[in-house]
Amino acid sequence: MDRLTKDDVHPKILQKLLEDTDITIEDALENEMILNMGPQHPATHGVLRLLLRLDGETVIGCVPDVGYLHRGYEKMAENMSYYEFIPHTDRLDYISPMANNVAWVLAVEKLAGIEVPVRAQYIRMMIAELARIASHLVAIGSFAMDVGALTVFLWTLREREKILDIWDILCGARFTNSYTRIGGVANDAQPDALAKAKWFVDQLDNNLAECEKLLNTNRIFIERLDGIGVISKEDALSYGYTGPNLRASGVEFDLRRATPYLQYDKVDFKIPTFTEGDSLARYFVRVDEVRESAKIIRQVLQLMPQGEIKSNLPKSVLPQKAEVYSKMEELIHDFMIVNFGINPPVGEVYHAIEGSKGELGFYLVSKGEGHPWRCKIRSPSFIHIQSLPHLVKGRMISDVIAIIGSIDPIMGEADK
């Protein structure tokens, strides 16, 4: 090994070395290191890159780098009609695809002033709540897996497979199903699917209790998460938190109660709120929300009336296929809507729903043409990732992973 010469050493260290006479080896070595938690890492939250500045194992600073999944949704929305964009909304928050469909379709209907029949509204509520349960199951499972409990992941995925079976019967696709249409839903809910949904919510409670038995009083789980990633009420509102993360910090705010949409004012459900604002509180909020969503689905299945599933506006809503093949006006309307799009009046609208991660909103500007002039997607994961530097300051590297898991970002939504 060659001896270090004066040119190899950093000038600041050299100066310090020359000043002090009783210097130890720890002083001479700089302790700060920049670590790259790259876009590809085992915590299954997608392609998020974090640059961490470490002092030993403690995090001093953190810079998130997003954009590795930026697919250009907003630019594509300006070039295709409102109908053609429905499959794209599936791939935004890809763990709960039906909820995004519902959000987009509600925004377009608000812009165009279209009323939807009651049965379709109840079906949309049911699929949105099923999507919320699916998303929270994956969130709980992968969060537990990040912290070290590998079994819970497989059990929650097993429950999620049952939901995917329900969607398979309902509309033919397990996942990324574009089931809603402007003016209603694509096809009627079969009695098979409704019976299976009822069976699912009835047995969900027991299976969820099994997973909880492993985690809720587990000493390792609690010590790993208690007091980690604390955010206060004022900071949470200032950072733009919505959804389960905000409810874990003490603010009882839920868009289903504040600005009711669909038929949420007719069903009865609690809003679980915790005040500590740490990762454990965010976990408990999600588990409680799964139970509340199951309650909502039971009530929806009881209240759902018989009736039509698509409204009857020839110029804006696609007509039924059987009529397109046999009647003249429906054929012409189908042609016009598919080729030129529905033409909502000039104006702009912002509509948000309570998605499973937070407030998912669409801002649409229309100039009277068949495609939007501007479409902005307000994605909750993007906003939550912004607060990561505030949450991880002073923590260790393994806490960073637990905090990311508790915030639950999905990069497909954050990067648009």
Shortest reach from residue 239's CB to another protein, in Å: 5
Shortest reach from residue 352's CB to another protein, in Å: 7
- Binding characters for another protein, 153-192, by CB under 8 A (x = yes): -x--xx--x--x---------xxx----------------
Shortest reach from residue 25's CB to another protein, in Å: 19
Q: Does 196 bind another protein (CB under 8 A)?
A: no
Q: Does 9 bind another protein (CB under 8 A)?
A: no
Q: Does 16 bind another protein (CB under 8 A)?
A: no
Shortest reach from residue 33's CB to another protein, in Å: 14
Q: Are the CB atoms for 407 and 245 separated by under 8 Å?
A: yes
The answer for residues whose C-beta is within 8 angstroms of residue 145's C-beta and 6 or more apart is 44, 152, 153
Q: Is 65 helix (H, G, I), strand (E, B) or coil?
A: strand
- Among residues 294, 299, 289, the alpha carbon closest in space to that of 268 is found at 299
Q: Does 87 bind another protein (CB under 8 A)?
A: yes
- CB nearer to another protein: give 84 or 212: 84
Site for another protein in 340-379 (CB under 8 A): 347-350, 352, 359, 361, 363, 365, 373-374, 376, 378
Q: Does 76 bind another protein (CB under 8 A)?
A: yes
Q: Give 257-322 as a 3 state SS string.
A: HHCCCCCHHHCCCCCCCCCCCCHHHHHHHHHHHHHHHHHHHHHHHHHCCCCCCECCCCCCCCCCHH
Q: Residue with structure tokens 């696609």?
A: 318
Shortest reach from residue 378's CB to another protein, in Å: 5
- CB nearer to another protein: give 86 or 123: 86
Calpha distance 95→356 (Å, rounded): 9
Q: Does 11 bind another protein (CB under 8 A)?
A: no
Q: Choose the binding region for another protein from 75-83, 204-212, 261-269, 327-335 (rule: CB under 8 A).
A: 75-83
Using CB atoms within 10 A of its CB, is residue 263 exposed (0-12), middle (13-18) or buried (19+)? middle
Cα–Cα distance list, 129 to 20, 177, 257, 329 (Å) = 66, 15, 15, 37
Backbone angles phi, psi at 388, to 5 degrees: -60, -45
Q: Are the CB atoms for 174 and 164 separated by under 8 Å?
A: yes
- Cα 3 to the chain's mean position, in Å? 56
The answer for residues whose C-beta is within 8 angstroms of residue 284's C-beta and 6 or more apart is 248, 272, 274
Shortest reach from residue 391's CB to another protein, in Å: 13
End-to-end CA distance of the chain: 52
Q: Does 197 bind another protein (CB under 8 A)?
A: no
Q: Does 240 bind another protein (CB under 8 A)?
A: yes
- CB nearer to another protein: give 65 or 212: 65
Q: Does 5 bind another protein (CB under 8 A)?
A: no
Among 133, 383, 402, 407, binds another protein (CB under 8 A): 383
Among 14, 17, 58, 110, binds another protein (CB under 8 A): 110
Using CB atoms within 10 A of its CB, is residue 20 exposed (0-12), middle (13-18) or buried (19+)? exposed
Calpha distance 250→236 (Å, rounded): 10
Calpha distance 133→295 (Å, rounded): 11
Among 25, 258, 322, 328, binds another protein (CB under 8 A): 258
Shortest reach from residue 385's CB to another protein, in Å: 8
Q: Which residues bind another protein (CB under 8 A)?
A: 38-42, 44, 46-47, 66-72, 74-76, 79, 87-88, 91, 94-95, 110-111, 113, 138, 154, 157-158, 161, 164, 174-176, 235, 237-240, 242, 251, 253, 258-259, 347-350, 352, 359, 361, 363, 365, 373-374, 376, 378, 382-383, 386-387, 411-412, 415-416
